[in-house]
């Protein structure tokens, strides 16, 4: 698959699921909700890299109470369209979460394994509270008991790209979320 080739790049985009406007409206609503929960409280948004960085950037601007930001990187896909089943934390936080109400900002909850491991890790560090907000929730694929406290969109079992979500590091910059179908590249 030669995704760096301009002609091939767009061939696998099967269908736009959420437009730029859909996403903007949902992010604004989520920002208002989070602002109402944490007014006057020390808030730390934790983005799971790399997929959630676009979502975090828009979400933190939609939150109208003071907040700090930190990043973790965890991998389970390793360049494929399906989770490998193993989770590796490759970059940890700089903040002491025990001083904050922590909101994990995730791009997608699929099997739930990655986020379940991150939640256990952060819970053990005794934050003032811990919640999860996810851009996309794919409950039909869940393999562990995990739910987000706030989901912007629920989707069926489709492989999606755009708005931070990737395939082998490509497509993150798309302003919308689309279903990707690799078989379309072979036509």
Strands 101-109 and 13-18: unpaired
| Band of residue 3 on the pLDDT scale cut at 50, 70, 90 | low
In the predicted structure, residue 82 carries a pLDDT above the cut 60: no
The full set of domain ranges for the chain reads 20-172
Task: Give the residue numbers annotated as catalytic, written as ranges.
Answer: 110
Around Cβ 8, how many Cβ atoms within 10 Å? 12
pLDDT digit string, tens, across residues 172-183? 999 999 999 877
Place of tokens 């082998």: 168
- The pLDDT value recorded for residue 80 is 53
Determine the average pLDDT of the residues in 21-42. Answer: 98
Return the closest-CA partner of residue 45 out of 79, 81, 6, 95. Answer: 95
pLDDT digit string, tens, across residues 136-152? 999 999 999 999 999 99
Instruction: Tell me which of 3.30.930.10, 3.40.50.2020, 3.10.20.30, 3.90.1150.10 is the CATH number of domain 20-172.
Output: 3.40.50.2020
Strands 160-161 and 177-180: antiparallel
Name residue 167's beta-bridge partners.
170
- The pLDDT value recorded for residue 96 is 97
- The pLDDT value recorded for residue 89 is 82
Q: How far is CA 95 from the centre of its chain?
A: 20
**Bigger pLDDT: 18 or 4?**
18
């Amino acid at each position: 698959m030669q995704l760096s080739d301009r002609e091939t790049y767009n061939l696998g985009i099967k269908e736009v699921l959420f437009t730029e406007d859909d996403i903007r409206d949902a992010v604004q609503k989520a920002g208002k909700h989070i602002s109402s929960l944490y007014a006057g409280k020390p808030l730390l948004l934790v983005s799971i890299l790399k997929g959630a960085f676009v979502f975090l950037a828009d979400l933190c601007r939609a939150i109208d109470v003071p907040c700090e930001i930190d990043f973790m990187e965890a991998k389970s896909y390793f360049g494929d369209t399906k989770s490998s089943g193993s989770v590796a934390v490759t970059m940890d936080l700089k903040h002491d979460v025990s001083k904050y109400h922590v909101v994990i900002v995730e791009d997608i909850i699929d099997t739930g394994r990655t986020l379940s491991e991150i939640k256990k890790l952060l819970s053990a560090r005794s934050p003032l509270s811990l919640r999860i907000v996810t851009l996309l929730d794919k409950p039909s694929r869940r393999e562990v008991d995990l739910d987000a406290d706030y989901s912007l969109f629920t989707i069926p079992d489709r492989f999606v790209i755009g708005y931070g979500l990737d395939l082998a590091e490509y497509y993150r910059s798309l302003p919308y979320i689309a279903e990707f179908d690799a078989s379309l590249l072979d036509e």
